[in-house]
Structure 1
Amino acid sequence: MNTGCKKNFEQLFSKRFPIFKWVITLVLVVILGSCVESASSQEVLMQNPVKAIPATKISGTFAETAPPDVIQALRPSLEGYQPQVSILSPQADEILQDNTVKVQLEVKDLPIFKDPQWQLGPHLHLILDNQPYIAVYNLNQPVVLPDLSPGTHTLRVFASRPWHESFKNEGAYAQTTFHVLTKTEDNNPDVKLPLLTYSRPNGGYGAEPIMLDFYLTNAPLHSIAETNPDDTMSNWRIRSTVNGESFILDRWQPIYLKGFQPGKTWIKLEFLDNQGQPVKNAFNTTIRLINYQPNGQDTLSKIVRGELTAEQVRGIVEPNYTTETPVT
């Protein structure tokens, strides 16, 4: 390159270089800004609370249906009660020196009785550890639990309607943990965590629909999730599995299912957190085996099938009720 051309090129470059440098700077700023925006978007995404898994419609082999007509007709007779349940003995954290335990219960604001004709009435469901419940109709005598294994045990009890649906008002549930001879780590739920208590289905059935019912303790209201995104339990769900078919419940109320085949059926209930993961606490996952044999002749089966009227069996909700005999 000759001297003149070289001089002209240097003059041109010197004039254009500030513009070139400005363009390079602008490109770098845009690139860095995109990186910061991308990083910020990822950070916001990570901070957003995980939405709870939605409730699912019950479909497949089983279907949800309305409660039997007779039960709906009898239910108002018990709506005025707010049962208050207490465990008088054994006391909380008591160490017993005998493996035969006498349980004394108390209930206020609910008559506990069994109609002599229909063999049903308001009662208590008493659960030792995670065993099937014991129906208690008489509070004058203690419930005797023989031959308990040494170690820690937990009693749970709640008030129940004659058709085994739990009362869910404040105070209808009581719980105590005690020890036979010594303390162990078993059967000792964390009182700070939500606790799921399985109630029904249980035992044998002679008619469908069959009620699914449970009790919840320390489960926060769903509305808390809207005000406290850090709460990991407020969007809880209950996963129910019946013979391998699962559905998700987001409400605490009994449901009635139909579609059962004669014979044995297994049911599993699990308490799930906001992310759909089982909450690790004693008794939060429970499996029961029931036996459905159609055409059962017990009172509840006849009520479910509509073979008895509400007036005929009203004595199971009103202890002093007497059926009027029509005059001929």
Structure 2
Amino acid sequence: MNSWQKRILEKLLPQRFPILRWVITLVLVLGLSSCGEKVTSQEVSNVYRENSPQISQISQQFSEVSPPSLIQELRPILEVYQPQVTIITPKPDEVFRDNKVTVSFLVKDLPIFKDQELQLGPHLHVILDNQPYIPVYDLNQPLVLPDLSPGTHTLRVFASRPWHESFKNEGAYAQTTFHVFTKTDDNNPDPNLPLLTYSRPQSSYGAEPILLDFYLTNAPLHLVASENANNKFSDWRIRCTINNESFIFDRWQAVYLKGFQPGKNWVKLEFLDNQGNPLKNAFNTTVRLIDYQPKGKDTLSKITRGELTAYEVRGIVDQNYKFTPKPTPIPAVEKTPEIQPKVEKQPIPETQVPEESQAQPTEPKLEVPMAAPSPSVSPALPEIIQSPAPEIITPTLEPQPEVIPTPESTPLAKKVVPQPTKSRFGGFFNRLTSKTPAPQVTIAPSPSLPPTLPEIIQSPTPEIITPTLEPQPEVTPTPPSAELPEKQVQQP
């Protein structure tokens, strides 16, 4: 027990309660001794500080912010894993007779893979000496280290999340020291001293915030009150300097920073002892150069900016997940109405339509396609579309609303009304005055005539063709006094 603790007990408890003093002293000693052990790797909670502000200004240029929202959403998926990493080769203190060394690893309780489309996934950070780390996404392919310099080398490795944040559980880190041809004092950290392993930032970035992450070994917990007052590692700190601006961290935790200038930025990490001095050990001071170019198009930049969704990038944390794009709704396309060729209709003077024809709207207009031929009547003649007839000068006749043919009537009557015993018909065609086109003539259906008489439109020729009941007779107008033969119309 430290001297300051004894002084506090003497003030709080008078000499007349020796038993009570002895009990409290025993409880304190047992409690402190149980938590006074050093750990190989400091184990901290994987949950970010709940009470930390979203933005904390830590220097004139830089500020600490919350992790990107998409990373916070994906992070719980990997919380079920506690990766255990082992270096199979090289063996500790192994001496190689070649400057090319093959490295292999064993990882338990964490799938190591890379999504082929997004180029991210859980992987290993492999650090030779104090060089920038090498990412490993496939354990089936051994890692070859070529052209090694003769002497001692140290290999460090730890498990990492797809966004390059290290797992900090016990067993996620492994380390070995080997030799090429011979042993030297270089690259050989003291195993009894705390060791700082630099991880991120590294290489290039296309969006902010940028992750600052590192790994600690042999560093005691800050909550430990060591019995040795001379222990200079009980209150360690991490000093970070970016572009000559320094700030200190007292916790082992991933940090996201904003304030990097576009282009080249340099980052320096140092392990400090209780007095704030850099602790001398191999790799405890590391400097990296990074390149920040905003508006990057890589997957990590898009995740940082929130341009992707968890549904799209879940494949970087779940090896069995297959992303299926949601069908994009096709907007309704308004059909453009087909442009029909404009047909110029010949004007029909209203005065040319008989009043009686206008008064009978129920009489259907007969068209050729709907006609059904009668057994006793020849097939209907095709519809003859004729252009306006040339000018024909004929005697002007008074228009008659309806003419019932008689032996003395003219065969040019407009409407044919059959007789009960003997059917006769004739045609009447209105003659227009000079320079006036003749209107179309509609023939009313009759019980004794076929219901499919075609619509007759006058042609430009002076010859007028009217349908008959004989197979193909040519009807020629007869003088007013002439009668049609009785055999041309038969009773059905």
TM-score normalised according to structure 2 size: 0.55
Give, in whole Å, the separation in 2 of the partners of 1:304 and 1:144. 32
Count residues with an aligned counterpart. Answer: 273
Give, in whole Å, the separation in 1 of the partners of 2:152 and 2:122. 30
Q: 2:360 maps to what in 1?
A: none
**Quick check: 1:212 aligned with 2:212?**
yes
**Quick check: 1:198 aligned with 2:182?**
no
More strand by share: 1
Q: 2:171 maps to what in 1?
A: 171
The answer (yes or no) to whether the contact 2:206–2:297 under 8 Å persists in 1 is yes
The answer (yes or no) to whether the contact 1:225–1:235 under 8 Å persists in 2 is no
Deviations 1:14-36 (A, max 9, x none): xxxxxxxxxxxxxxxxxxxxxxx
Partner SS for 1:224: coil
Give, in whole Å, the separation in 2 of the partners of 1:67 and 1:58. 16
Shift of 1:128: 0.3
Change in Cα spacing, 1:325 to 1:289, as seen in structure 2 (3 Å) is closer
Give, in whole Å, the separation in 1 of the partners of 2:192 and 2:59. 35
Matching residue's letter, 1:231? N
Matching residue's letter, 1:310? A
The answer (yes or no) to whether the contact 1:197–1:284 under 8 Å persists in 2 is yes
Deviations 1:268-325 (A, max 9, x none): 0000001101110000000000000011100000000010111110000000112344
The answer (yes or no) to whether the contact 2:59–2:246 under 8 Å persists in 1 is no
**Quick check: 1:103 aligned with 2:103?**
yes
Shift of 1:227: 4.9
**Quick check: 1:275 aligned with 2:242?**
no
Give, in whole Å, the separation in 2 of the partners of 1:65 and 1:229. 36
Q: Say what the alpha-carbon RMSD is for the aligned residues.
A: 1.3
Partner SS for 2:311: coil
1:224-243 paired onto structure 2 within 5 Å: 224-225=224-225, 227-243=227-243
The answer (yes or no) to whether the contact 2:84–2:109 under 8 Å persists in 1 is yes
Matching residue's letter, 1:101? V
Partner SS for 1:188: coil
Matching residue's letter, 1:174? A
Give, in whole Å, the separation in 1 of the partners of 2:190 and 2:164. 27
Give, in whole Å, the separation in 2 of the partners of 1:65 and 1:228. 37
Shift of 1:240: 0.3
The answer (yes or no) to whether the contact 2:190–2:282 under 8 Å persists in 1 is yes
Shift of 1:226: 5.7
Give, in whole Å, the separation in 2 of the partners of 1:194 and 1:251. 14
Shift of 1:224: 1.8
Matching residue's letter, 1:164? H
Deviations 1:157-208 (A, max 9, x none): 0000000000000000000000000000000000000000000000000000
Q: 1:139 maps to what in 2?
A: 139
Q: 1:30 maps to what in 2?
A: none
Deviations 1:113-135 (A, max 9, x none): 00011000000000000000000
- The answer to which structure, 1 or 2, has the higher relative contact order (CA under 8 A, 6+ apart) is 1
Matching residue's letter, 2:115? D
Unaligned runs of 5+ in 2: 1-55, 330-492
Partner SS for 1:76: helix
Q: 1:264 maps to what in 2?
A: 264
Give, in whole Å, the separation in 2 of the partners of 1:288 and 1:139. 27
Computing the radius of gyration from Cα coordinates, the structure with the larger value is: 2
Q: 2:89 maps to what in 1?
A: 89
Shift of 1:326: 3.5
Partner SS for 2:300: helix
Shift of 1:57: 6.0
Partner SS for 2:73: helix
Matching residue's letter, 2:261? Q
Give, in whole Å, the separation in 1 of the partners of 2:154 and 2:84. 19
Matching residue's letter, 2:131? Q
Shift of 1:229: 2.7
Q: 2:349 maps to what in 1?
A: none
Unaligned runs of 5+ in 1: 1-55
Matching residue's letter, 1:221? L
Shift of 1:230: 2.8
Give, in whole Å, the separation in 2 of the partners of 1:194 and 1:230. 16
The answer (yes or no) to whether the contact 2:154–2:175 under 8 Å persists in 1 is yes
Partner SS for 2:302: helix
Q: 2:157 maps to what in 1?
A: 157
Q: 1:46 maps to what in 2?
A: none
Q: 1:310 maps to what in 2?
A: 310
Matching residue's letter, 2:150? P
**Quick check: 1:60 aligned with 2:60?**
yes
1:27-66 paired onto structure 2 within 5 Å: 58-66=58-66
Matching residue's letter, 2:83? P
**Quick check: 1:180 aligned with 2:211?**
no
Percentage of matched positions with identical amino acids? 72
The answer (yes or no) to whether the contact 1:57–1:247 under 8 Å persists in 2 is no
Partner SS for 2:294: coil
TM-score normalised according to structure 1 size: 0.81
Q: 2:124 maps to what in 1?
A: 124
Q: 1:248 maps to what in 2?
A: 248
Further displaced range: 208-217 or 226-235: 226-235
The answer (yes or no) to whether the contact 1:205–1:291 under 8 Å persists in 2 is yes
The answer (yes or no) to whether the contact 1:188–1:282 under 8 Å persists in 2 is yes
The answer (yes or no) to whether the contact 2:58–2:64 under 8 Å persists in 1 is yes
Give, in whole Å, the separation in 2 of the partners of 1:283 and 1:270. 9
Deviations 1:45-94 (A, max 9, x none): xxxxxxxxxxx961211111000000000000000100000000000001
The answer (yes or no) to whether the contact 1:225–1:231 under 8 Å persists in 2 is no
Shift of 1:261: 1.1
